[in-house]
């Protein structure tokens, strides 16, 4: 079996950068994989299914851990857009494996006057296996014993977002 974190490190940025170029936008996404598929959950649609509230850190923690359990995921990742003080824009990729190993990387991108993405560097500029870009990564794989009402909420949320789960078949 392929190491799930290594598989995610290879496939997540490659596939997400392609989606960014296609849609000309960087939208926050949560990703996980098994040996056959790479799953993308774009969080922008949460406002539609969460009473207009979107996804805050607490809901992200709960829902990611719910998905990890549901899919028996062994690695999960997160990507979103960031800007440095010098206005350098990059996609921040944070990934974590079930054994608490982490990987983060930055892929620079450029936008035009209308803030549409015009270019994404496939090679990354900075990486770390110690310090995530977004610390919410540390909450992934936390074992949470959900109260019954919270579990019912997460089951309902999953039912609503499952049709929007973007699945990419991986080459075996």
Tens of each residue's pLDDT in the chain, 172 residues:
578 999 999 999 999 999 999 999 999 999 998 778 899 999 887 767 667 777 888 989 999 999 999 999 999 999 999 998 888 899 999 999 999 999 999 999 999 999 999 999 999 999 999 999 999 999 999 999 999 999 999 999 999 889 989 999 987 5
Structure tokens belonging to residue 140: 């992934």
The residue segments making up the domain with residue 22 are 4-169
- Quick count: other Cβ atoms within 10 Å of Cβ 1? 7
Residue listed under structure tokens 């774009």: 42
The pTM (predicted TM-score) of the whole model is 0.90
What total of structural domains would you count in the chain?
1
The packing angle between helices 57-71 and 148-161, to 10°, is 80
């Amino acid at each position: 079996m392929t190491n799930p974190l290594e598989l995610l490190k290879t496939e997540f940025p490659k596939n997400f950068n392609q989606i960014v170029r296609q849609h000309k936008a960087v939208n926050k996404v949560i990703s996980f994989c098994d040996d056959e598929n790479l799953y993308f959950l774009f969080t922008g649609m949460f406002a539609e299914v969460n009473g207009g509230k979107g996804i805050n850190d607490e809901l992200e923690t709960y829902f990611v851990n719910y998905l990890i359990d549901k899919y028996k995921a062994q690695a999960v990742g997160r990507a979103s857009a960031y800007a440095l003080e010098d206005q350098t824009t990059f996609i921040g990729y944070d990934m974590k494996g079930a054994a608490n190993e982490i990987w983060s990387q930055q892929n620079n991108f450029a936008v035009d006057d209308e803030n549409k993405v015009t270019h994404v560097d496939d090679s990354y500029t900075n990486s770390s296996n110690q310090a995530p870009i977004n610390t919410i990564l540390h909450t992934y794989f936390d074992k949470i014993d959900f109260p019954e009402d919270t579990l019912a909420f997460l089951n309902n949320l999953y039912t609503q977002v499952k049709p929007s789960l973007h699945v990419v078949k991986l080459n075996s």
